[in-house]
Structure 1
Amino acid sequence: MPANIITTDDLREFKMELLDDLKELLSNQNSGKLKKYLKSSEVMDMLQMSIGTLQNLRVNGTLPYTKIGGIIYYDAEDIQNVMTQNRIHNKIE
């Protein structure tokens, strides 16, 4: 099996490609190109929670949602607001 040699130029090129990709991701996030509405499965993945927990947040009114044709959608901004409102600040003395 032939060996591949990586040069400093290869690493520099990789770094530049990686930086370009990160800049694009950040600009997409800042320009609002990220999804506005998320499905239940996306919210569960994002917040690492079970379907039962997500259902409880809907039922008790913590997390607003929209149901269209059997599919439940959540506004990404509402999720961010709920996370911010429930932030706990512990004082370390």
Structure 2
Amino acid sequence: MAAIEILTKDDLQQFRQQLLEDIKNIISIPSIQVKQWLKSDEVRKMLRISASTLQTLRINGTLSYSRVGRIMYYKRDDILKLLEGNER
């Protein structure tokens, strides 16, 4: 014969707290560093644009960049501002 256990509100509250703590531990991600500077191919993928469109954004001054050797870098914040500025 199986024993009958009675659950109280305190038992359920304790279970809830432990469950929430377990979920937080499972989904917690160590701090991921977000790159401040992106290369051209990363920007094109992020904005879903072609190389020529990115070149146009550089030429007309819509998107600023820095060049080191032959590699162009773009600030993530500038890209986000560009996206926010074009919201409709």
Q: How many residues align?
A: 64
User: CA separation in 2, counterparts of 1:86 and 1:61?
Assistant: 15
The alignment's TM-score, normalised by the length of structure 2, stands at: 0.66
- How big is each residue's C-alpha offset from its partner over 1:27-72, in whole Å with a ceiling of 9 and x where there is no partner? 53xxxx1100000000111111100000000000000100111100
User: CA separation in 2, counterparts of 1:87 and 1:60?
Assistant: 19
Identity of aligned residues (%): 42
SS of match in other structure, 1:24: coil
Aligned equivalent of 2:60 = 60
Quote how far apart the aligned CAs of 1:24 are: 1.4
RMSD of equivalent CA atoms? 1.6
- Which structure 1 residue ranges, 4+ long, deviate > 2 Å from structure 2? none
Q: Given residue 24 of structure 1, which amino acid in structure 2 is its aligned partner?
A: I
Compare CA radii of gyration and give the structure with the larger one: 2
